[in-house]
């Protein structure tokens, strides 16, 4: 992709209202545009990252046999009244009345809706177990939206729902999701921990949270640096007895054993093996897809910009052509783009008629894991300068060495 043919409107100054590192770099790097506080448009780079996260989530969910669908954005308020969650969520839920006078809301989550769908079609234990999921924008009227994608009024969530015959089935579905979640966060390059948590407004018996340690985190855990263990609300380590330190974390995923809470309220039943009517035993499993983007940046940056893991980078290589008026250099840049693409890499070719300093600043800000420079050293010795953002290593490679390097990292 040529930079000049793409749309990456980076900003030189820190934008007003940017409240933390990830928010600042997402706005400055041309990833997001703020429509209103808590409401963002994904600019082309931001959309690329969102798609990469979504694809990782999708692949691991499919691997566990979960099946993708997508529910409507507008939901009848009626189903929320049945579970009593309309009043529990209160003003967080965005409600509208349509011209026919129907009471609707914009989905803040989808337990009610999915239970209705499953209850409509699934009548027998033979159709179970079933795990359905979607990757969809949700809406919450936050009192205080902040930190960009961390706490916004519109956000992208992966929400999954399992339906089983009994508690043993739920246990198996739950284990599958726990395993998928670990794989997803690992592949996204996140440092994270899993803690048992309070089910809260979701109801049900057991829940686990996936937490990414970060300064801006809004959840406080207690950490034993001795045993490298986290606890929710005690003052001393259960293992070694040492006092604990407060540590802030970002909630990136949350899984719940719901049991029959929702199926009971919504009268969602099936016929079991002995032809008895039974309530579905449910679990629900959420991942903050857009929030992952913020969490990854909070954990992976320096003072110049984002340092993406390859798995999420909008472009893995930022190829800077120092002098675009030099035709042989320009031609070499395009040839190199082709070679790297054949190795499976995505390449942003900075072909703008800008000072090289501007190009470097943007490359650091945008955060491709590899910066490749085609300039003086190429003209003199046919050498390619490569900078690895994460390790700060610099190499001067000939073409063969460069290709071998990328063959080995991929």
Judged by CB under 8 A, the residue of 25, 125, 139, 192 near a second copy is: 139
Going by C-alpha positions, the residue among 356, 283, 369 that lies closest to residue 318 is 369
C-beta separation of 101 from 76 below 8 A = no
| Minimum distance from residue 139 beta carbon to a second copy (Å) | 7
Return the number of the residue (69 or 220) whose C-beta is nearest a second copy. Answer: 69
Judged by CB under 8 A, the residue of 137, 276, 355, 404 near a second copy is: 137
| Gyration radius of the chain's alpha carbons | 24
CA–CA dist 76, 89 (Å, integer): 15
Our finding on whether 44 is near a second copy (CB under 8 A) is: yes
Query: Contact region for a second copy (CB under 8 A) — 61-69, 207-215, 280-288, 367-375?
Result: 61-69
CA–CA dist 305, 28 (Å, integer): 9
Query: Contact region for a second copy (CB under 8 A) — 1-9, 198-206, 299-307, 315-323?
Result: 1-9
Query: Contact region for a second copy (CB under 8 A) — 114-122, 170-178, 261-269, 278-286?
Result: 114-122
Kindly give, in sequence order, each residue whose CB lies less than 8 Å from that of residue 354, ignoring residues fewer than 6 positions away.
Answer: none
C-beta separation of 208 from 216 below 8 A = no
Our finding on whether 120 is near a second copy (CB under 8 A) is: yes
Judged by CB under 8 A, the residue of 17, 65, 241, 243 near a second copy is: 65
Our finding on whether 98 is near a second copy (CB under 8 A) is: yes
Query: What distances in angstroms separate CA 25 from CA 30, 32, 323, 325, 367, one per listed residue?
Result: 8, 9, 27, 31, 9
Our finding on whether 199 is near a second copy (CB under 8 A) is: no
Q: Alpha-carbon torsion 153, 159, 165, 166, what sign? A: negative
For the segment 348-407, give every residue that binds a second copy (CB under 8 A). Answer: none
CA–CA dist 363, 62 (Å, integer): 34
Our finding on whether 63 is near a second copy (CB under 8 A) is: no
| Minimum distance from residue 137 beta carbon to a second copy (Å) | 6
Return the number of the residue (337 or 385) whose C-beta is nearest a second copy. Answer: 337
Query: What distances in angstroms separate CA 273 from CA 34, 167, 278, one per listed residue?
Result: 54, 15, 10
Name the residues that contact a second copy, by CB under 8 A. 5-7, 9, 30, 33, 35-36, 39-44, 46-47, 50, 65, 67-76, 91, 94-96, 98-99, 102, 104, 106, 113, 116-117, 120-122, 130, 132, 137, 139, 141, 143, 153-154
């Amino acid at each position: 992709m040529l930079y000049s043919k793409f749309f990456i409107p980076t900003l030189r100054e820190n934008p007003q209202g940017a409240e933390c590192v990830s928010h600042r770099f997402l706005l400055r790097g041309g990833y997001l545009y703020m429509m209103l506080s808590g409401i963002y448009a994904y600019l082309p780079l931001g959309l690329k990252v969102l798609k990469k996260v979504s694809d990782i989530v999708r692949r691991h969910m499919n691997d566990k046999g979960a099946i993708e669908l997508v529910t409507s954005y507008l939901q009848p308020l009626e189903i929320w009244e049945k579970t009593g969650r309309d009043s529990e969520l209160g003003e967080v839920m965005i409600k509208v009345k349509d011209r026919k006078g129907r009471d609707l809301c914009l989905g803040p989550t989808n337990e009610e809706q999915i239970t209705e769908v499953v209850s409509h079609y699934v009548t027998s234990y033979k159709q179970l177990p079933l795990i359905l999921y979607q990757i969809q924008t949700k809406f919450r009227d936050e009192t205080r939206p902040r930190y960009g994608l961390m706490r916004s009024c519109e956000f992208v969530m992966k929400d999954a729902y399992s339906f089983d015959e009994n508690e043993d089935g739920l246990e198996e579905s739950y284990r599958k999701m726990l395993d998928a979640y670990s794989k997803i966060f690992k592949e996204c390059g996140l440092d994270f921990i899993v803690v048992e948590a309070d089910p809260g407004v979701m109801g049900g018996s057991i829940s686990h949270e996936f937490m990414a340690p970060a300064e801006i985190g809004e959840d406080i855990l207690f950490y034993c640096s001795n045993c490298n263990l986290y606890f929710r609300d005690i003052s001393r380590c259960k293992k070694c007895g040492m006092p604990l330190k407060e540590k802030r974390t970002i909630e990136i995923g949350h899984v719940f054993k719901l049991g029959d809470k929702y199926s009971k309220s919504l009268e969602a039943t099936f016929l079991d093996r002995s032809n008895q009517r039974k309530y579905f035993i449910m679990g629900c499993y959420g991942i903050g897809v857009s929030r992952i983007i913020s969490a990854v940046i909070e954990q992976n940056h320096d003072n110049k910009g984002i340092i993406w893991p390859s798995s999420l980078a909008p472009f893995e290589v930022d190829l800077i052509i120092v002098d675009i008026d030099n035709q042989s250099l320009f031609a070499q840049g395009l040839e190199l783009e082709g070679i790297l693409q054949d190795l499976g890499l995505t390449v942003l070719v900075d072909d703008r008629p800008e000072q090289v300093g501007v190009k470097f600043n943007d490359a650091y800000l945008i955060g491709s894991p590899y910066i490749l420079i085609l300039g003086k050293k190429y003209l003199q010795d046919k050498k390619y300068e490569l900078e690895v953002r994460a390790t700060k290593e610099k190499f001067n490679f000939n073409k063969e060495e460069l290709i071998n390097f990328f063959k080995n990292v991929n």
